[in-house]
A and B are shown apart, each in its own frame.
Chain A
Amino acid sequence: RKEVEQDPGPFNVPEGATVAFNCTYSNSASQSFFWYRQDCRKEPKLLMSVYSSGNEDGRFTAQLNRASQYISLLIRDSKLSDSATYLCVSPGYSSASKIIFGSGTRLSIRP
């Protein structure tokens, strides 16, 4: 099992819709997670940090479910500009500090 797994999508939803996708992780000792957004051929950019109680920032909500070992990202009232690939990231818990990326979920918002 991969350490961090995401549904690759693509998710194709109409503008204004609410969309959610999950990321599962295998290391139960992981403490914090991040969602990054990556536009085509550009660098990943931090979207949200995800801590134990979840996090909300405008239209975006990130939740952590420790019992089932997944994190979720919810986007409300989606905009055309939300079209991107969303990467789930888990900082490694070992002393080596390996940082594990999911392979990303592609989201496409249509007019």
Chain B
Amino acid sequence: EAQVTQNPRYLITVTGKKLTVTCSQNMNHEYMSWYRQDPGLGLRQIYYSMNVEVTDKGDVPEGYKVSRKEKRNFPLILESPSPNQTSLYFCASSAGQRRNSPLHFGNGTRLTVT
């Protein structure tokens, strides 16, 4: 089954403790992206990747890192999480090069930083 898999679904952590949210897709998609969703602010793009070893900042990259060492994986890293990073996070992928390629989303990760 074609899918985008994020883990974990729920995560509660403390300020400053490094964490990684994994994202993997099995559709051989070139484009992958991370979003955070907050009430009243909609979906905001954190980072995206056009292909292996190619990443770029979205609208809200501060406090986050990403890597794209393999095509299928695009982990989101919070080196020193802070409470303002409490949010619902979505990973997404698409075929990318074609403008009419829709995004496929993972199930989301609800992160709470205390």
Contacts and interface: CB of A to CB of B under 8 A. Distances in A.
A89 B42 contact: no
Given A45-B105, A46-B103, A89-B103, A103 B42 contact: yes
Contacts of B88: 41
B83 interface: no
B71 to A, nearest CB: 16
A67 interface: no
A43 B41 contact: no
Contacts of B50: 97
A21 interface: no
Interface in B20-57: 31, 33, 35, 40-43, 45, 48, 50, 56
A46 B102 contact: yes
B67 interface: no
Interface residues of A, number: 24
Interface string A75-100: 00000000000010101010011110
B58 A98 contact: yes
A98 B106 CA distance: 18
B45 A97 contact: no
B23 to A, nearest CB: 12
A87 B43 contact: yes
A34 interface: yes
A32 B110 CA distance: 30
Nearest to B100: A32
Contacts of A91: 99-101
Nearest to B56: A96
17 contacts: A32-B99, A36-B103, A41-B88, A42-B107, A45-B105, A87-B42, A87-B43, A91-B99, A91-B100, A97-B96, A98-B48, A99-B45, A99-B103, A101-B43, A103-B40, A103-B41, A104-B42
Interface of A: 31-32, 34, 36, 41-46, 49, 51, 87, 89, 91, 93, 96-99, 101-104
Given A49-B102, A97-B96, A99-B45, 8 more contacts: A34-B102, A41-B108, A43-B106, A43-B107, A89-B103, A97-B31, A99-B103, A103-B41
